[in-house]
Amino acid sequence: MVLCTGRPINAIWHYIEQLGLTDPADFTITFNGALVINNTSRKNLAKQGLSKTDLVPLHEFSKANDFPLDILNFDQVYPITDLVKSTYQLGGGIKFEPMTFDELPDQLYAKVVAAQKPAILDKMVAGLTPELKKTVSRCPFATAYSGILKPHNR
């Protein structure tokens, strides 16, 4: 059995333990497919993501329209402080390190989350231009539930 989730492995570790998926041959697919990781060694089997440059159009759109963004690398969450405050929360002892988009390190990112009231997220989705949809096609706006909009790469 392999668990598949949009969350980081630390956020679901208690499920992995409950299911006994802690042998060296056990893997989990995390971040909506962006990372396949060995549960015991935490070694990556496969990893893909988005660059900071990939995220620029989404940040500009969010800033111009007063929308929130949280950007996740494979270890932590970066609430983007030059935007409207997000309501995103995540368990599992995941570190949150607030910073502006300009301060964001130039590295690979697993996904982007917008967390706010559903009406605000509906407005965000409705405001995406065809060009922006094409730009963020590597992380399409796929789900909106419980006040969280998750553009992700699968």
CB 123 within 8 A of CB 68: no
Quote the pLDDT of residue 119: 87
Note the pLDDT of residue 85: 92
Task: Look up the pTM and report it.
Answer: 0.80
Q: What is the 3-state secondary structure (H, E, C) of the chain?
A: CCEECCCCHHHHHHHHHHCCCCCCCCEEEEHHHCEEEECCCCCEEEECCECHHHHHHHHHHHHHHCCCCEEECCCEEEEECCCCCCCCCCCCCCEECCECCCCCCCCCECEEEEECCHHHHHHHHHHCCHHHHHHCCCCCEEEEECCEEEEECC
What pLDDT score was predicted for residue 75? 86
How far is it, in rounded angstroms, from Cα 131 to Cα 148?
Answer: 23
The pLDDT value recorded for residue 17 is 92
pLDDT lower than 70: segments of the chain: 134-154
d(CA 90, CA 48): 21
